[in-house]
Structures are given as structure tokens and as C-alpha cells.
Amino acid sequence: MNSLESVFVSLKTAQAALAQQTGRQKDAALESVARALDANRNLILKANALDVAKAVSNGMKEALVDRLSLNDKRIDGIIDSLAVVIRLNDPVGKVRAGWTTANGLFIEQVTVPLGVAAIIYESRPNVTVDAFSLAYKAGCPILLRGSSSALESNRALVALIRQGLEQGGGIAESVALADSGRHEDVDTILGARGFIDVVLPRGGRELIRRVVDNAHVPVIETGEGNCHIFVDESAKIQNALDIIENAKIQKPGACNAVETVLVHRGAIGTLMPLLAARFAGSVELRCDERARAAIGAAPAALVLRDAEETDWQTEFLDYILAVKTVDTLDEAIAHINRYGTRHSESILTSNLSAAKDFQARVDAACVYVNASTRFTDGGEFGFGAELGISTQKFHARGPMGLEALTTVKYRISGSGHIRQ
Amino acid sequence: MNSLESVFVSLKTAQAALAQQTGRQKDAALESVARALDANRNLILKANALDVAKAVSNGMKEALVDRLSLNDKRIDGIIDSLAVVIRLNDPVGKVRAGWTTANGLFIEQVTVPLGVAAIIYESRPNVTVDAFSLAYKAGCPILLRGSSSALESNRALVALIRQGLEQGGGIAESVALADSGRHEDVDTILGARGFIDVVLPRGGRELIRRVVDNAHVPVIETGEGNCHIFVDESAKIQNALDIIENAKIQKPGACNAVETVLVHRGAIGTLMPLLAARFAGSVELRCDERARAAIGAAPAALVLRDAEETDWQTEFLDYILAVKTVDTLDEAIAHINRYGTRHSESILTSNLSAAKDFQARVDAACVYVNASTRFTDGGEFGFGAELGISTQKFHARGPMGLEALTTVKYRISGSGHIRQ
């Protein structure tokens, strides 16, 4: 048994103890964790400084170094997020349905923790505390496998989490860090049938693909978002401009940012010159022939290219927008169902039946009418916190709050019932 | 593209059309299927006779030949099951939650079909119609991969299902049979990412293991049930005898039959002589030392053996029962959580806190108080029909009705909303 396997056993053992904690006990333990983090900021910052120094000397890109770096304000943010999780309702022990059968058996369907979770993630150290706190609240022990670049930060955070749990009457063994730095650890986690009940990959496309392709335990796939906005003939053009701008540039690197705008031929003439003016100097447009023609005389600062087939397939995560003209609502829906990643799709329209049709026939986790795709987010949905956005249809779909870490159990009560 | 891959494409295409059918349209199509089966019994029986003749000449065991055989009464049963599915409520398009966010976005969580299902199953031809009808009602096209021994029966049934769908305004392309007889077809199905949204294996342990180990698409694992009954000190002994007998012999081959009885030391003296008398001549007992001693002078017809470690691990599916003495409720729970398959577990007790503890701490899909484990069944639960009993915690748990073939979609409506 290598060290990771003994960690699996320890997490599995912690599961039974954690399942017995009441909501109040779990919240008290999380409050104690918040205090431990707050009181030991110097330890966190010192460990983080080691990671940052190493990253800089390894030539890490500035944006990534920034993502890795902690400071007092960011620690405030981590503690604030923890407070949000504490205020959420306990997702465990909810009776979702209850009924009495014809022969008098009383059956209840009640929520229970899903089991042991593992998260495999990149860079940002705040994910360490976020993921732990959500899992703990849901009654799930968690194995954390962060990136090697954040190793010292994660070690400090997990040590303080455990210290907080101990001091607050919690179950310290319900959190562990896979910190050997060995690449094979990921495969060991992905193969840990009977020990790990769900793996959550959080990070870039490569990481998610690797996890999905190699896992022998259940995975919740997150993240990839090739999102569309369809501007219907009847859309209000000023609204459309504001929404497209918001969905593209408010946070271009987000999975819910728009990548392709589909425009009804009846709106293309009005929209394109205004869109070109709006994006001149900020967003590159990759247009099909009709959209390009509709721009007319392009502003000097506009970067404009002809769209190619690959543009419909690409999640740019950048200041780039593909634009395609469609003749009908049907064509827009067909395009989205072909190229979309089932994440977030929006129609801008004043036509009720177009709105209804679009929401019914587009196959995606979140289907919007007259709103920016950027709202696909656990916080915006009112879930308080999120584990990620599921792009799969199995078990969890869309923004995942605490409920994604629960399953159900049936409690059945009889009085000597036998089956006839 | 081999022929199975073109079937995947056809099922995927049918998905969009089927998703647009109203509940009334789906029911009308299923009624037409029932009529087609009823009117063409001769075709079904003729095809089945070929399968049976081949099975007999191949030396198939009598019990399996019986399972394979159809007659008019069994066709009545198939049509009756179809009628039950028709009477169920449409699981699609239910609003499970709806709310307005602080900024005025209206969000609804609504049920939608899971997608394309595949079922890999053994022998009984009635599963062909059952699985199709549940999937169709849930809006899911289905690929059927039955056993080669039922090939002619399944071909006849699927041809009549498609005929019925066509005549009843349904989507005939939403059902297909993988009937090449090639063993590799199973692997092709298990690898069909992007085409198959869920695979349901139904059959013996070997089949289920093979599917779970090799699938690259989501699987719902079903079936294995190493179920326990714990007779607490305070159990009513006559009730206990009736329940143990029911759970063991009403259908020993069922996954919800009991395999091990745990007896509190305070009840062992009273229970064992009566249990030995009850099972003499019918059920073999494999007892630990204390349980064996408690029997005293065994009835002549009783088959009695010493229990070994393997007996605690075995799903006998036979007239065999393991019996173990425990000193405490904790010991009983620990034994079940160690050896159980998370299927169905029962406590017999008059003690309220023991009942509550047992239901809270036993990790299983169905946890009973004072009732036989045999009630774990979609029909008994009032689900009308079942796809199988999930022994996993992911996506679906316990008896699976139509809901297991659905997922959710969020519909979000704004009026020009952009994210701040």
C-alpha cells in the first residue's frame, strides 16, 4: 500500500464520522477553519511567497503568477467565500419525497452525502479552500490534487484547515492533499474504484480531457463552453449590442463567454455596422460573407477576418468573435446543436414563439432569452457557491452547488411487512 | 462507418424529433405499438419458436429455455406492462424549481430526456418491449443489444414496435436492435462517446462487470445485492421468522433476496431453534459458532454448515442463508457496511433509536425497518415500471423509474440583462 492508498482508506473512514455530524457541527467546524486561516495569514503568505519565487524563476507567465499570488485582500476573499458556504442550508437529510404504498409501507427519499470526492485542479490556491468547504458542508471527505506550482501554498492551507477542524470539533481526516508531486498520483486517483465516489477536474481543456479519458471512477466534466447568441429578426438592436458586448468582453476567458453570434438575415443589415463600431479596437470579428458585406465601410481600428469552418468549432477564450448569418430560427438551432458544447446559449428576440422554440429545442444546460450567457454561474443563480459548471447530462448539469455532492437513500418503514 | 455507427447517427437524429413529441403523442404511439404486438402474435410466436428450437438443440438448461419461451399469456403480460407505462405521467417538461434572481432574471429548472440509451441484456424477450417503452416515454431513443439466444424473437418484436410507431404517428427511428451477433458490437456501444448518453447492463454479474470495466460512456450499474437482515434484541420473533423466510425464499434468485442474517446475541437463543425448524428441508444454514450452538438439537432435515469468511461475501441467489451473531448494533452496521453491496438492508426491532441509527448509518440505496428486503422494486415502490435497480450512487440510486432517464435544463428569461 503506497501512501496515497492509505490516504484513500483514511478518507473512507472519515466519511462515516462526517456523515454523523449535524449541520450545526459542520458549520462550527467551518467557522473554526475560517478563524485558523485568519489568525495564520503570515504562514499562508510565507508559503505562497515560496511558490511565487519558484514560479518566477521558472519563467512562468505574468498572468499565471498573478493567479498564483496571495495577499491579504485575497485571503479576505477566501474567508468571505467560506462564510457564504457556512450560511447555505445543509444539503444533507432533506426529505425530497415521501409516500405510503397501498400495503402500508412508508417510503421516504432522503438526501445523503455522495461519498469521497477528489478534485484535480490548476493554480489558484483559493480553489483549495472553496472545494474543501463545499465538500465538508455536503458531508463528503475530499482529496485535493492541486498543481505543483501551488504546492507550498496548498500545504499551508490544508494544514490550517485540519488545525481548524480539530479545534472546532470537526473531522480533520476528511481533507487530504495529494502532495507527492508525482504525476502517477493522478492515475491512482482516477483508478480508485471503491474509494473515490466522484472526481472533479477543474482547469484547462487538456486537464479535463485527460481526466475524462482515463477515469475508472465517476467524473463530473466541467468547463468547455462554445457558447452562442442568436440575434433574431425581431431583436431590439441596442439590447443586442449591449448583451453581445457583455457576453464577449466582461470576462473573455470565462467558459460562459460568447464565442459565435448568429444573426438572422433580417437583422444583419442593422446590427453589423453598429457591432463593428462597438468592437473596433477591442474585439476581432471573424465574419461569414453576408455579415462582412453588411458592415459596409469598416472602421479603421476594426480587426476583421473571413470566418472559416474551424471558427465555428473554437472556444476562443479571447477578444475574438465569430459571426454567421442564418436564414431561419431552425438554421440557428441546428448550428448550435451541431457546434455547441451544451453549456450556455441565448436568443435575443421579441417574438414569443421563437423564444419558446429556442428554449425547447436547443440542447444545452442553460438556455437564455434576452440575457447575456455570462449569468451561468452558481453565484448568479443564487446557489451561493459553485463547484464548477457541469457540461454533462449525467448526475449534474449546469452550475453545481452543494446538491451535486449529494445522492439519495430510501428509508422504508413497515410493521412486519412481507412481499406477497 | 460500419453499420452500428450508422445506427448511432440515426438514433441521435431521432432524439430531436422524439423530444418534440407531446406526452399525448408518445402515448398514442405506444398504444399503436401495443396493437401491433397484439395483432401479430403469430409472428412473435413463430420467431420465438426458432430461438427455442435452437436453444434446445444447443443443450440450454431447462430453466433458461423457459425464460426464453413466449406464449400467449406471456405476450398478454408484455402488452399489460406497456399499458402500465402508457398510464405513467410524462417525466419530461416538469418544472422542478423556478425562481427570480435579485436582478430580475427568471430561472426554471425543467426536466428533459437524458438522450440516447443503450441496454445490454440477457435472455428474456419481454425486456425488449419493457426497456423500449420506458425509454420512449422518457423521450430517449434506445439501442437494444439482447442475447444471441433471443435474436429471432427480438427481431420480430422490434419490427412490430417500429411498425406500431409508424402507424401511430411515432418516431420509428427511435428504436434499433444491434443484431449482427458480433461480440465486438458491445465494445463499439461502450465506446460510443457523443452518441450514447447512458448504457444499462441487465443480467448476471459477469455481464455487468464487463460493461462497467470497459465503458467510456456513462453506465448505470445494477443488480448485485448481498442483502442483510439484522434481528435486533427487541425484534418480535414471529415477525422476524416470517420476514426472513419471505426475504430468502419468495424469490431466491432476486437481487433483493436476503443472503446473511445478523442476529443480536440477546435474540440468538430464541430465534435459532425456530429458524432451524422453519428452514429444515428447504434452506441450508451456514452459521457462525454461537448461532450453531443456539440451534441445539438440529432437525434431521436441516442442512447445516459452519460459515466461512467467503459466506459473508457471497450473493448466493439460492436456498442458502448465512447467519452471524453480533454483540451490538454497531457491530451489525459495521458488518453490513463492510460486506454489503449498498442495495437493500433491513433491521427488525422494537427499539426506536436502534431503527433510527440503523437507517442513518447503513450506507445502502434502501434501508428498511421491520420489513422484507424483497420490496426493493419499482413496481412495489409505486413507480409503475422499472429499468432496474441502481447499486451506484451517481445519477440514480435504488429502483429506477422513468426519472432515471431524464436530466435537467435551465431556462432563463431576461429583458436585456447583462452581467455587472
* Separation of alpha carbons B398 and B391, rounded Å: 6
What average pLDDT does the segment A135-149 reach? 96
Q: Residue A384 and residue B160: Cα distance in Å, rounded?
A: 51
Give the DSSP H or E segment for A120. Answer: strand A117-121
Chain A nearest-CA distance from B313, in A, is 15
Q: B55 in the Ramachandran plot: left (φ > 0), alpha (ψ -120 to 50) or beta?
A: alpha
Task: Give helix then strand counts, H and E, for chain B.
Answer: 15, 16
A31: its cell numbers: 467557522
pLDDT of residue B181: 79
Nearest C-alpha neighbor of B43 from the set B208, B157, B196? B157
Of the ranges A57-71, A211-225, B180-194, B274-288, the best mean pLDDT one:
B274-288
pLDDT in tens, B289-347: 999 999 999 999 999 999 999 999 999 999 999 999 999 999 999 999 999 999 999 99
CA distance A346 to A243: 10
CA A388/CA B225 separation, integer angstroms? 34
Instruction: Give the CA diameter of chain A.
Output: 83
Burial status of residue A30 (CB atoms within 10 A of its CB: 0-12, 13-18, 19 or more):
buried
Within an 8 Å CB–CB cutoff, is residue B115 touching chain A?
yes
CB-closest option in A99, A115, A242 to B382: A99
Letter for the amino acid at B146? G
Q: In B170-233, at which residue ranges do the beta strands (DSSP E only) sit? A: 175-177, 198-202, 227-231
Residue B303 DSSP label: -
pLDDT of residue B155: 97
Backbone torsions φ then ψ of B381, nearest 5 degrees: -75, -10
Three cell numbers written together for A120 = 484535480
What's the confidence (pLDDT) of residue A223? 78
Q: Decide if pLDDT at B84 tops 60.
A: yes
Q: Is A96 on the interface with B (CB under 8 A)?
A: no
Q: List, in order, residues 6 or more apart from A252 with CB less than 8 Å away.
A: A316, A317, A318, A319
pLDDT at B297: 93
> What beta strand segments (E) does B88-181 contain?
95-100, 106-113, 117-121, 142-145, 175-177
B chain contacts of residue A209, beta-carbon cutoff 8 Å: none
Distances from the Cα of A24 to the Cαs of A27, A78, A133, B91, B204, in angstroms? 5, 21, 14, 36, 44
Torsion of CA A178, A180, A185, A186, to 10 degrees: 60
CATH class given for the domain over B3-220+395-413:
alpha beta
A323 in B contact zone (CB under 8 Å): no
Q: How far apart are CA A352 and CA A366, in angstroms?
A: 18
Q: Is B375 in Cβ contact with A105 (below 8 Å)?
A: yes
Burial annotation A312-346 (CB, 10 A radius, 16+ → b, else e): bebbbbeebbbbbbbeebebbbebbbebbbbbbbb
Closest Cα in chain A to B377? A419
B313-323 as b/e, with b when 16 or more CB fall inside 10 Å? ebbbbeebbbb
More confident residue, B215 or A32: A32
Mean pLDDT in residue range A280-291 = 97
pLDDT over threshold 60, residue B1 = no
pLDDT for residue A382: 86
Q: Is B72 exposed, middle or buried (0-12, 13-18, 19+ CB in 10 A)?
A: exposed
Pairing mode, strands B366-371 and B344-348: parallel
Q: B84 near B67, Cβ under 8 Å?
A: no
Q: What is the DSSP letter of A382?
A: T
Report chain A residues whose CB lies below 8 A from the CB of B381.
101, 107, 410
Ramachandran sector of residue B410 (left: φ over 0; alpha: ψ -120 to 50; beta: rest): beta
Rounded to 5, what percent of chain A is helix, strand, coil? 45, 20, 30
Query: Are B3-220+395-413 and B227-380 equal in CATH topology?
Result: no
Test B413 with A370 for CB contact under 8 angstroms. yes
DSSP-assigned beta bridge partners for residue A119: A144, A200
pLDDT > 80? residue B123: no
Residue A164 · residue A189 · CB < 8 Å = no
Q: What is the pLDDT of residues B252-288, one digit of tens each?
A: 999 999 999 999 999 999 999 999 999 999 999 999 9
Q: Which residues is B266 bridged to in the sheet?
A: none
B195 touches chain A (CB under 8 A): no
> Which residues on chain B are in Cβ contact (under 8 Å) with A363?
16, 112, 409
CB distance A89 to A170 below 8 Å:
no
**Strand A398-400 relative to strand A388-390, pairing:** antiparallel
Burial of B54 (0-12, 13-18, 19+ CB in 10 A): middle
Query: Which phi and psi angles does A370 have, rounded to 5°?
Result: 50, 45
Name the B residues in 367-406 with CB < 8 Å from any A CB.
Answer: 367-372, 374-376, 380-382, 392-395, 397-398
Q: Is A113 helix (H, G, I), strand (E, B) or coil?
A: strand
The residues, ordered by sequence, that sit 6+ positions from A157 with a Cβ below 8 Å of its Cβ are A37, A44, A125, A128, A129
Please give the grid coordinates belonging to residue A132.
Answer: 474543501
Burial environment of residue B100 by CB neighbours within 10 A (0 to 12, 13 to 18, 19 or more): exposed
Give the residue ranges of DSSP H helices in B168-223: 184-190, 205-214
Ordered by start, the domain boundaries in chain A are 3-220+395-413, 227-380
Using CA atoms, how far residue B104 sits from A248, A345, B161, B360, B418, in Å, is 22, 19, 47, 40, 11
- pLDDT, one tens digit per residue, over B219-236 is 998 878 999 999 999 999
pTM: 0.92
In this prediction, residue A224 has a pLDDT band, given cuts at 50, 70 and 90, of confident
- C-alpha pair distances (Å), A81 with each of A74, A129, A192, B348: 11, 9, 30, 45
pLDDT at residue A66 in the model: 92
Retrieve residue B134's grid coordinates: 420506458
- Mean pLDDT to the nearest integer, A200-212: 88
What secondary structure does DSSP assign to A220-276, as a single string? --B----EEEEE-TT--HHHHHHHHHHHHHSSTTSTTSEEEEEEEHHHHHHHHHHHH
The pLDDT value recorded for residue A2 is: 58
User: pLDDT digit string (tens) for B130-175?
Assistant: 999 999 999 999 999 999 999 999 999 999 999 999 999 999 999 9
- What residues of chain A lie within 8 A of the CB of B395, using their CB? 394-395
Mean pLDDT estimate for chain A: 95
* Confidence band for A1, pLDDT divided at 50, 70 and 90: very low
Of B198, B242, B381, the CB nearest to A107: B381
The mean pLDDT of A288-292, rounded to a whole number, is 98
The pLDDT, as a whole number, for residue B418 is 96
CA angle, B394 as apex, B315 and B106 as ends, to 5°?
A: 155
Q: Does domain B227-380 have CATH number 3.20.20.150?
A: no
B138: left (phi over 0), alpha (psi -120 to 50) or beta: alpha
How far is it, in rounded angstroms, from Cα B75 to Cα B38? Answer: 8
Task: Quick: pLDDT tens for A332-388.
Answer: 999 999 999 999 999 999 999 999 999 999 999 999 999 999 999 998 998 877 888
Give pLDDT tens digits for B376-405.
Answer: 999 899 887 788 899 999 999 999 999 999
pLDDT score recorded for residue B138:
97
Tell me how far apart the alpha carbons of residues B356 and B374 are, in angstroms, rounded to a whole number.
21
> How confident is the model over A12-34, as a mean pLDDT?
96
Which residues of A, range 207-226, sit inside 8 Å of B by Cβ?
213, 216, 218
User: Which one-letter amino acid corresponds to residue A98?
Assistant: G
pLDDT digits (tens, 9 = 90+) for A40-81: 999 999 999 999 999 999 999 998 899 999 999 999 999 999
Q: Which amino acid is at B48?
A: N
Phi, psi at residue A111, to the nearest 5°? -80, 140
Tell me the average pLDDT of chain B: 95
Report the residue from B112, B197, B370 with minimal CB separation from A414.
Answer: B370
pLDDT value at position B2? Answer: 58
